[in-house]
Structure 1
Amino acid sequence: MGCFGFLKTVMFIFNGIIFLAGAGILAVGIWVKVDNGSILNFLQNLDGAPSELKQVLNVGYLLIALGSVLMLLGFLGCCGAVRENRCMLLLFFVIILIVFIAEVAGAIVLLVFKGLVQKVITEVGVKVVEGIRKDYGSNKDITGLWNTTMETLKCCGFNNYTDFRNSSFSKNGTYPSQCCKMSACNEGSATAANIPGCFPALIALVEANSVVLIAVALGIAALELTAMAVSMTLYCQIKAKST
């Protein structure tokens, strides 16, 4: 097997795995959306499962989108390599390139415009706090989403427990049980003051796992560069054969 045949085989196997993974993710996403009644009943029947667990059904749209993109990439890569179709290989290269450029641009924006990003996050935080005070305790979906977030990250509110002041839930200075570790507590509770907000908790979690996240990001970037290099090499060799 020559270099050309080896690259075709690698391209086929690699994108075949991507296609199958995308098909699996797409199937799960469709199942979650189509048969959400059965899934919801299953989740509710789990021993000790919180009622907010049903929020997982909203992930179905994300799974459908991700699965569709992966299937498209896998199809273009496989067929482009096997059928030696330059158009498919070029389209595969362009899609990967767009994703790669978007990732690099996002990283540059975060590094260069760190102050602007922090300002935007602060402005978003104000809106989030307004949403908490308006909907938490009165809107079942919003309440469930925040309860799940706070239980997962062991946090309280967006910034801290004071985000619940004047909310539909907070009456006489009472705060959610997630802010108190045991049960609903009052504003004067020392426990509530010691529990971090969800945004600071998320930042701390990212910083604690920064090495792993950087390694994963570099690994993904390396795979994308390799995929682009292989697809373009095949493209050029196929073009050379046809002339």
Structure 2
Amino acid sequence: MGACGVSCVKYLVFVFNLLFALTGLTILCVGAIIQSSYHHYSTFVGASFWSAPILMIVVGAVVFVIAFLGCCGALKENSCMVLTFCILLLVIFLCELGIGIAGYIKNAQIEDILETGFNKTMAEYNNNKEAWRLVQTELHCCGINGPADYIQVYPNGTLPNSCCVKFEQHSDTCTQENAIKKGCLPILLEFFKSRALILGGVGIGIAVIQA
């Protein structure tokens, strides 16, 4: 009976570690998805915004490795490996909590970060033409808050072609009249806020589950 009890506990710990490994993969995948969503617009947000998703990828990979060691320790009944696993589990819990908090902090800061990035790149437009072309083409927007922002760049009233979905007949020039009226700041702001909330929710949610 005692041997059966020990065996049950061993396999219970194994299953727990297996689930733990799956949470590690979840963290890694969410971090990678958010990172891939962000990198298109890195010119506008700067390097500081990447810390949370990158940390998420690293923590997810570490969680998976630790869980694998936990599985091995449970099956081999290695008390040293299991103890090491428990200590590392506490460290990972704190990291996940930190990721969640960072996500919510970034959500609160993103408007200021984006506004600063947009104003800076518009003032230095000649060095950031490709970044603006990409964001305007993908999000179907024009300028920071609208096409009027380009007056400081093009005083003659013309606009980049990426500001126009289609040109008027017999015209191949994008102007204030035929340009997209929506600015890029409100659209990208909503995009980043939703990703930051996902980041925070996943980090804190998984930390609570593991606790």
Q: TM-score, normalised by structure 1?
A: 0.54
Which consecutive unaligned segments of at least 5 residues does structure 1 have?
30-54, 230-243
Instruction: Give the Cα–Cα distance (whole angstroms) in 1 for the partners of residues 201 and 113 of structure 2.
Output: 31
1:182 is aligned to 2:166: yes
SS of the aligned residue for 1:181 comes to: coil
Q: Secondary structure at the match of 2:145?
A: coil
- Is the 2:20–2:63 Cα contact (8 Å) retained in structure 1? no
CA displacement 1:170-189 (0-9 Å, x = unmatched) = 251211223222244223x1
Match of 1:76 in 2: 66
Identical pairs, percent: 19
CA distance in 2, matches of 1:222, 1:198: 31
- Aligned partners of 1:148 and 1:74: how far apart in 2? 36
| Closer, same or farther: CA 4–225 of 1 in aligned 2, 3 Å | farther
Q: Matched residues in 2 for 1:102 and 1:68: separation?
A: 11
Which protein, 1 or 2, shows the higher relative CO under an 8 Å CA cutoff with sep ≥ 6? 2
Residue 157 of structure 2 corresponds to which residue in structure 1? 173
Aligned length: 178
Contact 2:17 2:71 in 1 (8 A): yes
Root-mean-square deviation over aligned CA pairs: 4.3
Which runs of structure 2 are paired with 1:1-243 in the superposition (5 Å)? Answer: 2-3=8-9, 5-15=11-21, 18=24, 67-83=57-73, 84-104=81-101, 106-107=103-104, 117=109, 121-122=111-112, 125-134=115-124, 136=125, 138-139=126-127, 142-167=128-153, 170=154, 172-183=156-167, 184-187=173-176, 189=177, 191-192=178-179, 195-203=181-189, 218=201, 221-227=204-210, 229=211
- Give a deviation string over 1:177-212, Cα, whole Å, max 9, x none: 23222244223x1x43x52111212345579xx7x9
Give how far 1:78 is off. 2.0
TM-superposed CA distance for 1:8, in Å, is: 2.5
Distance 1:103 1:17, change over 3 A: closer
Unaligned runs of 5+ in 2: 1-6, 43-49, 74-80, 168-172
Structure 1 residues 163 and 86: alpha-carbon distance in aligned structure 2, compared to 1, 3 A threshold: farther
**SS in structure 1 of the partner of residue 152 of structure 2:** coil
